[in-house]
Amino acid sequence: MANAMQTVGIAFFLNGREVAANVTPGQTALQLLRGQFGLTGTKEGCNEGDCGACTVAIGRWDGGGREFRYRAHTSCLVPAARLHGTHVITIEGLGIPENLHPIQRAFLDSHATQCGFCTPGFIMSLFCLYARNPDPSRAQIGEALEGNLCRCTGYESIFRAAASIAGVAGQILPPYHEPVAQALAGFDRRLSFAEAPLPQGAEPMDYHRPETLERLFDLLWRIGDCERYRIIAGGTDVVVDANVKRLRFRHLVDIAGIPGLSEIRGTDRGVSVGALATLTDVTEHRLVSAKLPLLRAVVSRMASLQVRNSGTLAGNLATASPIGDAATAALALDATLVLATKMGERRVPAGSFFKGYRRTELCAHELITAIEFPEQDGPWDFRKSAKRGAVDISSVCTAMTARLDGSKVAAIRIACGGAAATPVLLAGAAAAVLGRELAPAAIEQAAQAAAAEVAPIDDVRGSRQFRSALVRNHVVEHLSKLL
């Protein structure tokens, strides 16, 4: 039907009640909540996941059904269709002025709201923190709230409010939580698809949620042209492209329904991270902490908690930003990407994956299914330089892994993002110290080599000159750690 568009029938729980909605493929959770459900407490501040005003709690069974977790998400980056089978809690679901939730009460008592626009987002971020951790540290409060911007308070009162929520462990989860969690334990309804008249001025868009890799590849085959689809793993890139750059895609292919892709598991050599594992999954997983401390350090400083709760490691590699932090980690850790098509799998070292500015080794209809990391076995270091210390895209980010033989450098990899069209390995710098005793002179030589072998980009995050200085400084610091 030429003048028809697809709609997706979803069912989920919203503030304790089961609801159903027909959403359009390009619709965000924020639009759905504010529009169809009239829940205007959730605000649009930037529409790209950077301000946190639209933060909501999305609850679902985690870790193979072991635990029901609420995680903070910027609802502007969540496709509405993704709410299917979840429990969404918005600010309206916590309390009303006459009967405030303890977190809301703390904000009121600490005078932690001024204009009020950012307040619901802060409270929802704190709700997700306290739902799991009744006694967070100062650093954990910072981590939970660094993705929420406030322009009025200077955060002083907000921090006081956040730190004053104590002794209320049993009162954080709303009374409707338990029955909803139970109801969702057996939730296995499928999405339903229908057609509706295409609104004037709109372009048709289809949403697909294949449930096996085979069906995914069949679907991609049917779609054909790679320009006509975008794969959604976490959605944090695709939805920004749609919201801010107003890019339109004929087909959105959501791979969240494909089983097995979200797994993080041990392998003979190390750890394999599935394509759907979120950045938060990576930071929280015990295997990553134990075997890949560098990866954990890098991912912990990517984006905000809300975005890490959606975004995936595989997605960050696939988007191939010249300053992708995950790519820098993958290069330093000598990771291997598992790429799959209808024909089967192939393994590509991270060092061969990035081909040019936002170009990768991925062929038509090919998908990253996992990233395999060898276990770390030597000293490492990671440095990220960005304009703002917290939640910012790197100007330059570098990572080093090394192995020492006595005081000689037996092996070394130094990866660098932000200093070329793709993240690169600094081969010259590595060569300058490989097999040598480390001494200040050698370090200086390596730093010079590093500066000479990069061709930094020049943009709003830093001039070429500055980035060269950063690369040099980073290399000196990395190598000094080996002394």
**Integer angstrom CA distances of residue 338 from 273, 280, 304, 361:** 10, 21, 27, 11
- Give the strand order in the sheet containing 251-254: 206-208, 251-254, 229-232
Six-digit token pair at 69?
A: 């977790």
- Tell me: does residue 130 bind other proteins (CB under 8 A): no
- Tell me: does residue 95 bind other proteins (CB under 8 A): yes
Residue among 7, 42, 280, 321 that touches other proteins (CB under 8 A): 42
Report how far apart the first and last C-alpha atoms of the chain are (Å, whole number): 69
Binding residues for other proteins, rule CB under 8 A, total: 84
* Stretch 237-266 residues interacting with other proteins (CB under 8 A): 244, 246
- Tell me: does residue 386 bind other proteins (CB under 8 A): yes
- 424 Cα distance to chain centroid: 22
Stretch that binds other proteins, among 91-99, 279-287, 422-430, 446-454 (CB under 8 A): 91-99
Calpha distance 316→236 (Å, rounded)? 9
Strands 396-405 and 380-385: antiparallel
Calpha distance 450→428 (Å, rounded)? 6
- Tell me: does residue 336 bind other proteins (CB under 8 A): no
- Tell me: does residue 324 bind other proteins (CB under 8 A): no
* Stretch 287-316 residues interacting with other proteins (CB under 8 A): none
Residue among 5, 8, 39, 362 that touches other proteins (CB under 8 A): 39
Calpha distance 237→227 (Å, rounded)? 16
DSSP result, 449-482 = HHHHH-----BTTB-HHHHHHHHHHHHHHHHHTT
- Tell me: does residue 152 bind other proteins (CB under 8 A): yes
* Stretch 395-424 residues interacting with other proteins (CB under 8 A): 395
* Stretch 175-204 residues interacting with other proteins (CB under 8 A): 199-202
- Tell me: does residue 123 bind other proteins (CB under 8 A): yes
- Tell me: does residue 97 bind other proteins (CB under 8 A): yes
Stretch that binds other proteins, among 90-98, 189-197, 420-428, 435-443 (CB under 8 A): 90-98
Closest CA to 94 of 59, 133, 57: 57
Q: Are 229 and 42 in contact (CB under 8 A)?
A: no
Nearer to other proteins, 187 or 466 (CB): 466
Calpha distance 143→128 (Å, rounded)? 12
Residue among 19, 22, 37, 46 that touches other proteins (CB under 8 A): 46
**Smallest separation, CB 464 to other proteins (Å):** 11
What count of residues does the chain have? 483
Residue among 92, 218, 241, 444 that touches other proteins (CB under 8 A): 92
Phi, psi of 465 (to 5 degrees): -60, -45
Nearer to other proteins, 233 or 475 (CB): 475
Q: Are 302 and 325 in contact (CB under 8 A)?
A: yes
Residue among 57, 88, 94, 305 that touches other proteins (CB under 8 A): 94
- Tell me: does residue 172 bind other proteins (CB under 8 A): no
Query: CB-hemisphere CA count at 13 Å for 436?
Result: 15
* Stretch 439-478 residues interacting with other proteins (CB under 8 A): 459-463, 465-466, 469-470, 473-474, 476-477
- Tell me: does residue 41 bind other proteins (CB under 8 A): yes
**Smallest separation, CB 307 to other proteins (Å):** 10
Residue among 177, 208, 296, 383 that touches other proteins (CB under 8 A): 383
Residue among 14, 23, 29, 53 that touches other proteins (CB under 8 A): 53
Calpha distance 167→232 (Å, rounded)? 40
3-state secondary structure 174-223: CCCHHHHHHHHHCCCCCCEEEEEECCCCCCCCEEECCCCHHHHHHHHHHH
**Smallest separation, CB 469 to other proteins (Å):** 5
Nearer to other proteins, 52 or 59 (CB): 52
Residue among 85, 134, 142, 374 that touches other proteins (CB under 8 A): 142
Residue among 22, 36, 114, 319 that touches other proteins (CB under 8 A): 114
